[in-house]
Structures are given as structure tokens and as C-alpha cells.
């Protein structure tokens, strides 16, 4: 790539990031204003804070683009989200540190810290809003272990299925998501990464249906299973 190509690509990347920032912050601000009834100043500050949190340079997949993709997937496939479910989607990867097992717990705490900050404390004494945050916290915790056999609520299953929706994408898109996840583990060898991924995929298939809700099982299970089986063939 020559000098001019590098600068052209840099300009494109900056444009794409600016567009993603505008969409992410705009949609989250609107959600917090209309669904949770926060004042604009608090809603917008929360949205900007989450954007900064999720645009760490060491993140490639667990970014604001991932959140926007899940929300777009839900919209395109007529998957309705209540306020607690959508709140969980927005914040479920707020904290993502590779090789940590407490990311979901910390993400839920981050969500609470934003909603219950001292500047908004007077607004958030409403029982309905506290209930929404409590339920969203449970949904976020549920995404910690997609192999969990414990029975959860239908709403939590919906969030878990959306979080795994990338498995049902077209092969090219699915492969891209895998490569982005791989980039988040730069200190791990391909051999170690592939072995860990292989073990997870095998367990996911062995557990039974990949997805938990009827809609996902009926409409996306077959494609997701095909993608996983192709991956396992390539990982042999």
C-alpha cells in the first residue's frame, strides 16, 4: 500500500468511526430518553461514556459496532425488545477484558454506576426504573456462560440468543466476526486459540440446540449449526 492509499484508508476509517459514533450515541441517547425517561443531558452523557468505554484500541469485536449489529439483527428479524432487554443489549459488553471471567458482572456494575450516578440519583428513585435495571442486570449476567444448563427466563434466553446471532450470519460475515475476536487475543498462539475455540464449539453443539428460543431455533439454528460444523472441519 503506497503513501496515498494509506492516507485514503485512514480517512475512510475516520469517517466510518465518526458515523458509528453518531449512530451509537444517538440511538442510545434516544432509548434512554424515551424508554427510561432520562433527561437528555444525562442520557447523552451516559451514551458518550459507554462509547469511550467500548472503543478501547485493544477491542475489535466487542465494540459499539457489535451492539449496533445486535440491535439491527433484532429489528430486521422482528425480535421485539422490552426496555430491560434492550438496556441489557446496550451494556452487556460494556467491560470486556480478555481472559477475565467477571466481564459480565463488571458490565452490569458499570451500567448501574451510570444509571445511578449522583447526578441522576434524584431521577432514578422511581421503582419502575430500578426494576428495569435489576432485570437488565440478570440478563447481562446470563451472557457470561452460553453453555449454562440452568433454567433462565425467556427474556434472558432471548438476550443469549441475540448474543450468539453471529453464528447464523452468512459465511463471509461470520468468518469476519471470528477474525475480529481472534485479534483481541494477540498474546495467544493460533494453536492455543483454535483449541479453545474448538472445545467451545463442540460443547455448544453437544448441549443440544444452539439457541434457546423458538424463533431462533426455527429460523437460525440450521445456518448456525452449519457454520459451526464448517469451523470444526477447518480446525481439525
- pLDDT tens for 196-223 read 999 999 999 998 899 999 999 999 999 9
Q: Which three cell numbers stand for residue 39?
A: 433527561
In the 8-state DSSP scheme, what is residue 61? Answer: S
CA distances to 5, 155, 211, 216 from 228, rounded to whole Å, are 36, 25, 13, 15
User: Model-level pTM greater than 0.75?
Assistant: yes
Same domain, 103 and 199: no
Q: Give dist(CA 66, CA 46) in Å, integer.
A: 18
Q: Are residues 71 and 180 in the same domain?
A: no
Residue 57 lies in a domain: yes
Whether residue 1 is predicted with pLDDT greater than 80 in this model: the reply is no
Q: Which of 183, 188, 185, 197 is nearest to 236 (CA)?
A: 197
Instruction: Tell whether 12 and 43 lie within a shared domain.
Output: yes
Domain carrying residue 215:
164-236
Q: At what angle do helices 221-234 and 171-183 cross, to 10 degrees?
A: 60
State whether 139 and 188 are in the same domain: no
Whether 155 maps to a domain, the answer reads no
Within this chain, do residues 115 and 178 fall inside the same structural domain, yes or no? no
* Contact between residue 36 and residue 13 where contact means Cβ atoms under 8 Å apart: no
Are 137 and 208 in a shared domain? no
Structural domain count of the chain: 2
- Please compute Rg for the chain using Cα positions: 19
For 23-52, write each residue's pLDDT tens digit: 999 999 999 999 998 889 989 999 999 999
Instruction: Please tell me whether residues 26 and 111 are part of one structural domain.
Output: yes
pLDDT tens figures, 100-111:
899 999 999 999
Say which DSSP state 150 is in: S
**Final residue of a structural domain among 81, 114, 144:** 144
Q: How confident is the model at residue 4 (pLDDT cuts 50, 70, 90)?
A: very low
Amino acid at each position: 500500500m503506497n503513501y496515498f492509499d494509506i492516507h485514503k484508508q485512514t480517512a475512510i476509517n475516520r469517517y466510518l468511526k465518526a458515523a458509528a459514533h453518531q449512530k451509537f450515541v444517538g440511538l442510545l441517547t434516544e432509548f434512554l430518553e424515551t424508554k427510561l425517561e432520562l433527561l437528555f443531558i444525562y442520557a447523552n452523557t451516559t451514551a458518550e461514556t459507554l462509547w469511550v468505554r467500548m472503543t478501547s484500541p485493544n477491542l475489535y469485536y466487542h465494540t459499539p459496532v457489535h451492539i449496533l449489529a445486535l440491535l439491527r439483527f433484532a429489528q430486521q428479524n422482528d425480535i421485539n425488545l422490552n426496555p430491560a432487554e434492550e438496556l441489557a443489549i446496550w451494556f452487556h459488553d460494556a467491560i470486556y477484558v480478555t481472559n477475565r471471567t467477571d466481564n459480565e458482572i463488571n458490565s452490569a456494575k458499570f451500567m448501574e454506576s451510570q444509571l445511578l450516578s449522583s447526578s441522576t440519583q434524584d431521577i432514578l428513585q422511581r421503582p419502575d426504573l430500578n426494576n428495569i435495571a435489576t432485570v437488565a442486570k440478570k440478563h447481562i449476567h446470563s451472557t457470561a456462560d452460553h453453555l449454562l444448563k440452568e433454567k433462565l427466563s425467556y427474556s434472558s434466553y432471548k438476550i443469549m440468543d441475540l448474543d450468539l446471532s453471529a453464528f447464523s450470519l452468512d459465511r463471509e460475515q461470520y468468518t469476519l466476526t471470528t477474525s475480529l475476536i481472534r485479534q483481541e487475543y494477540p498474546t495467544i498462539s493460533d494453536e492455543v486459540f483454535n483449541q479453545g475455540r474448538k472445545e467451545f464449539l463442540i460443547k455448544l453443539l453437544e448441549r443440544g440446540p444452539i439457541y434457546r428460543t423458538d424463533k431462533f431455533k426455527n429460523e437460525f439454528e440450521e445456518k448456525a449449526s452449519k457454520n459451526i460444523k464448517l469451523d470444526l472441519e477447518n480446525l481439525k
